[in-house]
């Protein structure tokens, strides 16, 4: 209970708890100061720290419960220390890039310092009980990019409260009481992602508490250049709900608070109050923390003395949160100054101890590897013709003060270059050591890009009977989604026009009426946060299908898809996952922004996701069924002009699956192999009919998925038969056709089976022009495909294939 003595005000917590908070904040500050020293001394590469924000984070941690989620950024170290999500020793391990999940559980050394994450998965990839832990979504560096996923993390609480079919998932939610705490710096609120996310949270009435740390700057740029009126709190007033309305009303909007970064009692009261309302009534809050100081500047990349005035620096020293809390504690007789001096000295020593232990743990295995190599080099040098050079190399390696694994491997490589003309018994041992250590390091830094579960889903072929009806493509999708929604209660579908209309192409027609507005939902026009909404929901155990209405509009969400979703499993070394299914459609319509094919941009930016390109709706349905049996993110790109094309509806539309990375030969031939996908399949088949009349039989292969690509090397088997290949798609020159060519010719060894140069046929370098004629002269057509293949065959036998033009 709060204490009160004569001459003091009521304390927000017991004295022991206040002292405990201060000591944690003080230790955090020492971690920042010592961390900066470690970077400047060369032991670490870069440092960014949370100094100046310690007191606010004590209050946030006080309001944070097990089951809650954080979607923050790289200033939240005090908060993480207080919850025990990351210890100070682990903080230093990450600063040193210790590539071992035992020492850096957030990222196994893959992320720079102060990028926090909880380990929400067991080593086998299954979920831990989120309601029994403090959940921290893995941080990313791009400014404001933590906000979109906060939409979904918070909205999942709405789902768990509103949907009866989810009530049994006790490991993920306790009746939707969980709050998502998002944090952001004042300057980053200038990003569109911030405004889109705040708007979406308010519309969805999702329980989020958004904290804005305001130190008046964005690195060196002051607020006057960041925002109108120089005050983000003033701008956010428009999101504020009517404070006189009772919290149980359905009015949408935020509770709004402003509090000083150095006012410990007010901060504790503010966060506890905001959390209580958000938890019970799902009313989000915006908390503007003002008068934040940043004692060490933005990061180790520069000094804030270069851009802050002497007056500002003096003010920051006076209003440092630690100093203000220290004075407040003494004034309120919580603890005396001599007592504080004593505990601060002990805490500084403790942090130095954590740092030393982290450094020793980091360096020990590297030194052991160096010693192994030094011993081998010495043994080789004793009988080598290159004794002098080898010993110089050995001595140089032995005296490196902060040796890295790259230094060791560089030295081994140099030694083997020297020894290329010698035979020596230990040389073979050194070569073997290099090969084995190379494998270890590839695993150390490259594992967990994919979990691989989607590749293990067994194929179930479509089943047809005499009664199987012939229906439009959109009806195939409708039947597939109906079956999926019925069998999988965690499946939530949403996007622009998905709910009431059933999407613009009717794939979800009637599904909202059947399954309710929370299962099949309309969203605003906000692609980045549609994707972010899906990421957050998937991290909380749900299975979202997020629709981006057209392929061209994926570009709005591509940064989040690339930086957050695609890297999540890898950057946490298997600690977190978000099995998001992104549904979109593209190719072959009309106009610049409705018929583009930015596939090469997508496949190069979303490694860590699967990119699936079904040629018709039956195969699209098979892919969705496969993905829902796995736990990996993917984007499925349906053919835009295929919804009105008729297909036969499989009897097992809800059970059939399509394997990933397995092409299909859709026409056999002996002369030329054409490799393509999606909407181009129909055009290539048209060309195949024309070529057949000219005596040329082409083998047409639909790759079906670009990531993964032909995992069984089926295409090269076709090439062994035809000895000629043409890669066709609608992307720009040098785009996806070039990617497919590298996969087949270089990686699969197709080069050795060629009798003619491998060729590509793509769209033009510009976007597709409007109209049917614009489409014809912007993308491959049956005629241009015919000409490309005919010329390949004419080169082989000019007499059999005389010149046409």
Active site residues: 594
Alpha carbons within 13 angstroms on the beta-carbon side of residue 363 total 13
Rounded Cα–Cα distance for residues 328 and 319 (Å): 12
Contact criterion met (CB below 8 Å) for 444 and 369 = no
User: What proportions of the chain, in percent to the nearest 5, are helix, strand and coil?
Assistant: 45, 10, 40
Phi, psi of 75 (to 5 degrees): -120, 5
What is the DSSP-derived secondary structure letter of residue 701? E
Q: What's the Rg (C-alpha) of the chain?
A: 30
Q: How far is CA 257 from CA 211, 253, 457, 506, 667, in A?
A: 10, 13, 50, 44, 66
Alpha carbons within 13 angstroms on the beta-carbon side of residue 606 total 28
> Would you call 647 helix, strand, or coil by DSSP?
strand
Rounded Cα–Cα distance for residues 575 and 707 (Å): 22
Contacts of 735 (CB under 8 A, 6+ apart): 599, 600, 601, 729, 762
Contact criterion met (CB below 8 Å) for 206 and 161 = no
> Regarding beta strands 705-707 and 698-702, do their DSSP bridges make them parallel or antiparallel, or are they unpaired?
unpaired
* End-to-end alpha carbon distance in the chain: 94
For every residue of 252-297, DSSP letters joined together read --BEEEEEETT-HHHHHHHHHHHHHHHHHH---EEEEEES---TT-
Contact criterion met (CB below 8 Å) for 290 and 214 = yes
Pair of tokens at residue 565? 């979703």
Nearest to 55 by CA among 25, 15, 100: 25
Nearest to 559 by CA among 602, 514, 501, 591: 602
Contact criterion met (CB below 8 Å) for 468 and 648 = yes
Rounded Cα–Cα distance for residues 626 and 606 (Å): 19
Nearest to 564 by CA among 85, 149, 99, 68: 149
Contacts of 106 (CB under 8 A, 6+ apart): 86, 90, 94, 115, 116, 117, 118, 138, 572, 575
Q: How far is CA 10 from CA 27, 94, 269, 332, 741, in A?
A: 26, 40, 12, 9, 73
Contacts of 185 (CB under 8 A, 6+ apart): 73, 75, 143, 212, 213, 214, 215, 218
Q: Which residues of 196-216 are buried (b: 16+ CB within 10 A; e: fewer)?
A: bbbebbbbbbbbbbbbbbbbb
By CB neighbour count within 10 A (0-12 exposed, 13-18 middle, 19+ buried), where does 345 fall?
exposed
Contacts of 129 (CB under 8 A, 6+ apart): 171
Rounded Cα–Cα distance for residues 565 and 561 (Å): 5
Pair of tokens at residue 216? 């008046």
Phi, psi of 254 (to 5 degrees): -115, 150
């Amino acid at each position: 209970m709060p204490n009160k003595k004569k001459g003091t005000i009521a304390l927000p917590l017991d004295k022991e708890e206040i002292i405990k908070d201060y000591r944690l904040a003080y230790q955090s500050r020492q971690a920042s100061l010592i961390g900066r020293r470690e970077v400047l001394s060369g032991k670490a590469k870069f440092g960014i720290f949370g100094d100046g924000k310690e007191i606010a984070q004590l209050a946030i941690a006080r309001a944070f419960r097990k089951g809650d989620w954080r979607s923050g950024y790289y200033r939240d170290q005090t908060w993480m220390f207080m919850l025990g999500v990351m210890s100070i020793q682990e903080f230093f391990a990450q600063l040193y890039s210790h590539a071992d999940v035992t020492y850096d559980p957030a990222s196994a050394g893959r992320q720079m310092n102060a990028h926090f994450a909880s380990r929400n998965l067991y080593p086998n990839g299954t979920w831990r009980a989120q309601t029994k832990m403090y959940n921290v979504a893995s941080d990313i560096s791009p400014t404001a990019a933590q906000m979109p996923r906060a939409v979904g993390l918070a909205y999942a609480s709405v789902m768990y409260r509103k949907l009866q079919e989810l009530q049994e998932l006790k490991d993920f939610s306790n009746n939707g009481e969980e709050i998502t705490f998002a944090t952001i710096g004042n300057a980053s609120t200038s990003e569109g992602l911030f405004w889109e996310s705040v708007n979406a949270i308010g519309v969805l009435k999702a329980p989020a508490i958004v904290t804005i740390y305001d130190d008046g700057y964005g690195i060196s740029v002051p607020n006057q250049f960041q925002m109108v009126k120089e005050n983000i709190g003033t701008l956010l007033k428009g999101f504020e709900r009517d404070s006189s309305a009772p919290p149980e009303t359905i009015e949408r909007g935020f509770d709004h608070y402003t509090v000083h970064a150095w006012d410990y009692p007010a901060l504790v009261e503010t966060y506890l109050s905001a959390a209580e309302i958000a938890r019970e009534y799902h009313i989000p809050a915006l908390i503007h923390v003002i008068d934040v100081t940043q004692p060490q500047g933005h990061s180790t990349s520069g000094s804030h003395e270069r851009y802050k005035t002497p007056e500002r620096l003096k003010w920051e020293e006076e209003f440092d949160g630690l100093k203000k809390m220290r004075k407040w504690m003494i004034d309120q007789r919580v603890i005396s100054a001599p007592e504080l001096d004593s505990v601060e000295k002990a805490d500084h020593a403790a942090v130095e101890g954590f740092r030393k232990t982290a450094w020793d743990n980091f360096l020990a295995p590297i030194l052991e590897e160096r010693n192994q190599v030094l011993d081998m080099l010495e043994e080789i040098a004793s009988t080598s013709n290159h004794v002098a050079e080898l010993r110089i190399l050995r001595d140089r390696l032995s005296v490196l003060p902060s040796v890295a694994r790259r230094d060791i491997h560089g030295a081994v490589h140099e030694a083997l270059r020297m020894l290329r003309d010698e035979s020596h018994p230990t040389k073979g041992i050194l070569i073997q050591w290099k090969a084995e250590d190379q494998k270890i390091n590839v695993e150390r830094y490259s594992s967990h890009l994919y979990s691989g579960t989607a590749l293990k889903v067994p194929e179930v072929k479509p089943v047809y009977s005499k009664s199987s009806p012939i229906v439009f493509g959109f009806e195939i999708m409708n039947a597939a989604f109906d079956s999926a929604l019925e069998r999988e209660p965690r499946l939530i579908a949403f996007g622009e026009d998905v709910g009431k209309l059933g999407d613009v192409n009717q794939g979800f027609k009637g599904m909202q009426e059947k399954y309710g507005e929370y299962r099949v939902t309309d969203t605003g026009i906000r692609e980045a946060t549609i994707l972010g909404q899906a990421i957050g929901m998937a991290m909380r155990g749900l299975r979202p299908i997020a629709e981006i209405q057209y392929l061209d509009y994926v570009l709005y969400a591509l940064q989040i898809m690339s930086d957050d979703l695609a890297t999540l499993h890898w950057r946490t070394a298997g600690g977190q996952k978000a099995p998001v299914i992104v549904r979109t459609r593209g190719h072959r319509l009309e106009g610049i922004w409705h018929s583009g094919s930015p596939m090469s941009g997508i496949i190069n930016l979303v490694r860590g996701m699967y990119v699936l390109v079904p040629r018709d709706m039956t195969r699209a349905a098979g892919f969705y069924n496969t993905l829902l049996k796995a736990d990996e993110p993917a984007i499925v790109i349906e053919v835009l002009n295929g919804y009105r094309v008729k297909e036969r509806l499989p009897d097992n539309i809800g059970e059939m699956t399509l394997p990933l990375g397995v092409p299909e030969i859709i026409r056999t031939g002996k002369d030329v192999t054409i490799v393509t996908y999606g909407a181009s399949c129909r055009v290539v088949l048209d060309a195949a009919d024309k070529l057949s009349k000219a005596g040329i039989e082409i083998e047409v292969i639909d790759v079906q998925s670009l990531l993964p690509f032909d995992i069984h090397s089926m295409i090269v088997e076709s090439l062994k038969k035809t000895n000629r290949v043409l890669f066709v798609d609608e992307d720009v020159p040098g785009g996806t056709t070039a990617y497919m060519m590298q996969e087949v010719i270089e990686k699969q060894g197709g080069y050795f089976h060629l009798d003619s140069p491998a060729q590509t046929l793509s769209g033009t370098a510009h976007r597709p022009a409007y109209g049917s004629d614009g489409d014809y002269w912007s993308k491959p057509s049956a005629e241009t495909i015919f000409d490309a293949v005919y010329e390949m065959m004419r080169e082989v036998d000019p007499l059999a294939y005389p010149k046409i033009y």
